Amino acid sequence: MSSVPATGPATRQGASDAIPAHVAIIMDGNGRWAKARGLPRAAGHERGVEALRNTVEAAREMGIRCVTVFSFSTENWRRPTSEVSALFGLLKAYIRRDLARLKREGVRVRIAGTRDNLPEDIAKLVDEAERETAHNSAFHLTVAFNYGGREEIVRATQSLAGKVARGEIAPGDITENLFSAALDTRDLPDPDLLIRTSGERRISNFLLWQCAYSELVFSDVLWPDFDSEALRQAVAEFAGRERRYGAVTAGAS
Ligand code: FPP
């Protein structure tokens, strides 16, 4: 099993590296993009998949090692059934169409989120994507699907509580590292940069634990229009930030 060297307080204090190792993205604005063109919302999501392909490609070219995207939240079940079906269909189509290429290109695919209440065919495909790419390590693409940050934290807590109940670990053995290892993003460094598109400025229950020290960049671009230039701009903003992880600037008195 491959993992990416950890970044974080112990290793990256001070001015940020120019290129983030891990970029998390809230791909927002598909609906507005479609509405502005008189198209159904699903058309915005469809174009959103294209933007995802292009962004992953651009990220790899820039030397980013991990990208994690929010593509269906546990709260998105509240949307009209037709839109939920369209999003499920797009995930299926994405895996079916892109899995062989991603595998060939050394991309490790993970799906973060609960498998409970996922249709069986999707759960199978998701398992297949993870299994088929488990030995890849050139790039890490994580798709958060049926994902909620609080739900993930609750699931991790339940799993650790089970270990305590079975006597496998003691309560005092639970450290931040052990907790991180119980999350869906185990083996990935925490995101250095979190981008949200479409001008909204919220975290919306995405990677709540993992983004404790992430730099937040908000882009006005609607997700279907997001491209390599928009990614470059977000990374340039990140590169100009100073990351202190609660400490003071080196040399400050
Ligand atoms: C938010 O925009 C976006 C989503 C809820 C879904 C994101 C999904 C994709 C980009 C495509 C799916 C990709 C895969 C791999 C399945 P919104 O619909 O809330 O937009 P709005 O705020 O303008 O209404």
Residue 147, beta-bridge partner list: 73
Dist. CA 76 → ligand 1 center (Å) = 9
Q: What is the pLDDT of residue 170?
A: 98
Residue 161, beta-bridge partner list: none
Q: What is the pLDDT of residue 5?
A: 55
CA atoms within 13 A of residue 206's CA, in its CB half-sphere: 28
The catalytic residue among 17, 30, 54, 76 is 76
Q: What is the pLDDT of residue 92?
A: 97
State the chain's mean pLDDT as an integer.
93
Token couple for 45: 């999501």
- pLDDT of residue 4 exceeding 90: no
Under a CB-based contact definition with an 8 Å cutoff, are residues 142 and 172 in contact?
Answer: no
Which residue's alpha carbon is nearest to atom 22 within ligand 1?
Answer: 29
pTM over cut 0.85: yes
Mutate to test the pocket of ligand 1, among 71, 84, 111, 202 (most ligand atoms within 8 A of CB): 71
Q: How far apart are CA 199 and CA 176, in angstroms?
A: 32
pLDDT in tens, 18-56: 999 999 999 999 999 999 999 999 999 999 999 999 999
pLDDT band at 11 (very low <50, low <70, confident <90, very high): very low
* Local structure of 27: helix, strand or coil: coil
**CATH no. for 20-148+190-238:** 3.40.1180.10
Q: What angle do CA 95, 211, 155 make, to 5 degrees?
A: 65
Under a CB-based contact definition with an 8 Å cutoff, are residues 172 and 143 in contact?
Answer: no
Dist. CA 178 → ligand 1 center (Å) = 32
Q: What is the pLDDT of residue 15?
A: 44
Sequence ranges of the domains in the chain: 20-148+190-238
Q: Within 6 Å (CB) of ligand 1, which residues are found?
A: 27-32, 45, 48-49, 52, 71, 76, 87, 90-91, 94, 143, 198, 223
Q: What is the pLDDT of residue 39?
A: 98
- Is 116 one of the annotated active-site residues of the chain? no
Token couple for 238: 């990140």
Under a CB-based contact definition with an 8 Å cutoff, are residues 60 and 229 in contact?
Answer: no
- Is 76 one of the annotated active-site residues of the chain? yes
Q: How far apart are CA 90 and CA 87, in angstroms?
A: 5
Q: What is the pLDDT of residue 245?
A: 80
Q: Which are the contacts of 14, defined by CB distance < 8 A and separation ≥ 6?
A: 242, 243, 244, 249, 250
- Left (φ > 0), alpha (ψ -120 to 50) or beta: where does 54 sit? alpha
pLDDT in tens, 141-183: 999 999 999 999 999 999 999 999 999 999 999 999 999 999 9
Q: What is the pLDDT of residue 247?
A: 83
Q: What is the pLDDT of residue 35?
A: 98
